[in-house]
Amino acid sequence: MKKDFLIKLDSQIDNYKLEMINMQRKLTAVPALDPESGGNGELDKAKVLEELLNENSFHDIKYYNAPDDRVECGYRPNLVLTVKGKNNNRNVCIISHTDIVPPGDLTKWDNDPYELIHDKEKDILIGRGVEDNQQGLVSSFYALKAVVDSEIEIPGDVRLVFIADEETGFKYGLYWLIDNHPELFSKTDLVLVPDYGSVDGDEIEIAEKSVMWIKFTVIGKQAHASRPLSGNNAHRAGANLLVRLDQELHKKFDAENPLFIPSISTFEPTKKESNVPNFNTIPPEDKFCFDCRILPQYDLEEIKNVINGISKSIEGQFGVKVEIDYVMCEQAAPVTSEKDEIVQSLIRNIKNVYNIDAKPVGVGGGTVAAALRKINTPVAAWSKLNGSAHQSNEYCQVSNMVNDAKVMARLILQL
């Protein structure tokens, strides 16, 4: 009976394919950029999403608005759709986000990034946000719709949480919800964040590294390049600082943990700001950034002490001043146990749908799952993704979107 039911449920989800594509089209057409990215927030997209939910007879939708005076409406909308189940002893919560990153250089796109392209030959949808995170959002909704339409009794309440501000730090999204509406989350819930994945769909993220984003400003003295002794080249001092940081941090914090991909702590120089516009001027300032993803066993204060020591050494060697801005400094959250039911449920149901053996992993990239682990709520992050997020011509595999919904439907039914 169970097998026959699942065949029918899967067939129902397959039949939603065109509806899922249409939902992607409508969501893609409405940019939801954070103020840090020059946008006006997620409200317009939230309204479109609300309308789509209502059209499908889902009306228990609540707005949880995080105040933010940087956007026109004055708040960042977080939506929660709730469907009541038989009991509330073990509820299911699936969390996706509505905000996106900017499209970047438009010349790198083959089409308008906000106009969905359906490449039927490749079975893909192209547009900004289609994989990050609309694939997970759409899959979760149609998983719930399939279960409701099947008229089978749902074991526990189901909450689909559509959060704002995932791309720039969670402050007006999940962190705000946890601080102001903790009743939305329970340590007994089965919580899925469909915002991490591998091409094969065989990785279930249960742990994340600590994250540090650091901006260094090296201050020297401007001069004509033909008379370097009359100035103090901040660029040279900055270059030496960058190399010292790269070498010494990797050497001192060199532990490995096979759970994580990659298995080591990483300290990557990233953004480099321009200094002077011409060839023949010694720059008075040098600004660059590091993105550090650090194994949980290391205390970030210890990392800071090493960074401060290297910076002081550079100041003494070159006669410059080094300013350090820790833009983000997040100690790793507790690891979700491999034995937790959310992990075991995903392993079972990924096997059932995709016929692959998924394994728990730890990652360097941050997801909102970490916010819940910090309050000791077990959570797993999983989807079957192609890894095109944040790229030009971002795309979503239609078959992944459909089959992920089948996995989520089984999670909702707690199979």
* Mean pLDDT value of segment 37-56: 96
pLDDT tens, position by position, 97-141: 999 999 999 999 999 999 999 999 999 999 999 999 999 999 999
Do strands 359-363 and 260-261 pair parallel, antiparallel, or not at all (unpaired)? parallel
Within 319-376, residue ranges assigned H as helices are: 341-354, 369-373
C-alpha to C-alpha distance for 412 and 385, rounded to whole angstroms: 21
Using CB atoms within 10 Å of the CB of residue 146, give its burial: 0 to 12 exposed, 13 to 18 middle, 19+ buried.
buried
One-letter amino acid for residue 98 of the chain: T
pLDDT tens, position by position, 179-214: 999 999 999 999 999 999 999 999 999 999 999 999
Please give the DSSP secondary-structure letter assigned to residue 182: G
pLDDT tens, position by position, 237-263: 999 999 999 999 999 999 999 999 899
Helix 134-149 to helix 2-15 angle, to the nearest 10 degrees? 130
Q: Which helix (H) or strand (E) holds 61?
A: strand 61-67
pLDDT tens, position by position, 304-342: 999 999 999 999 999 999 999 999 898 999 999 999 999
One-letter amino acid for residue 140 of the chain: S
For residue 47, pLDDT beyond 90: yes
pLDDT score recorded for residue 291:
96
pLDDT score recorded for residue 353:
97
**To the nearest 10°, the Cα dihedral for 394, 398, 403, 408?**
50
Q: What are phi and psi of 135, to 5 degrees?
A: -60, -50
Task: Find residue 81's DSSP bridge partners.
Answer: 61, 160
pLDDT tens, position by position, 265-300: 999 999 999 999 999 999 999 999 999 999 999 999
pLDDT, averaged across the chain: 95
pLDDT tens, position by position, 370-383: 899 999 999 999 99
Using CB atoms within 10 Å of the CB of residue 372, give its burial: 0 to 12 exposed, 13 to 18 middle, 19+ buried.
buried
Contact between residue 195 and residue 368 where contact means Cβ atoms under 8 Å apart:
yes
C-alpha to C-alpha distance for 96 and 138, rounded to whole angstroms: 9
pLDDT score recorded for residue 415:
86
Candidate list 10, 34, 42, 166, residue with the active-site label: 166
Has 44 been annotated as catalytic?
no
pLDDT band at 86 (very low <50, low <70, confident <90, very high): confident
pLDDT score recorded for residue 217:
98
pLDDT score recorded for residue 198:
94
pLDDT band at 88 (very low <50, low <70, confident <90, very high): low
For residue 82, pLDDT beyond 70: yes
For residue 1, pLDDT beyond 80: no
Has 34 been annotated as catalytic?
no
* Mean pLDDT value of segment 47-60: 95
CA angle 261, 265, 266 (to 5 degrees): 90
One-letter amino acid for residue 280 of the chain: N
The two counts, helices (H) then strands (E), for the chain are: 10, 18
Look at residue 72 and give its three-state secondary structure.
coil
Task: Find residue 363's DSSP bridge partners.
Answer: 208, 261
pLDDT score recorded for residue 111:
96
pTM for the model stands at: 0.86
Contact between residue 157 and residue 147 where contact means Cβ atoms under 8 Å apart:
no
Domains of the chain: 2-208+334-412 (3.40.630.10), 210-330 (3.30.70.360)
pLDDT tens, position by position, 387-404: 999 999 999 999 999 999
C-alpha to C-alpha distance for 17 and 314, rounded to whole angstroms: 59
pLDDT score recorded for residue 169:
83
Candidate list 99, 131, 132, 157, residue with the active-site label: 99
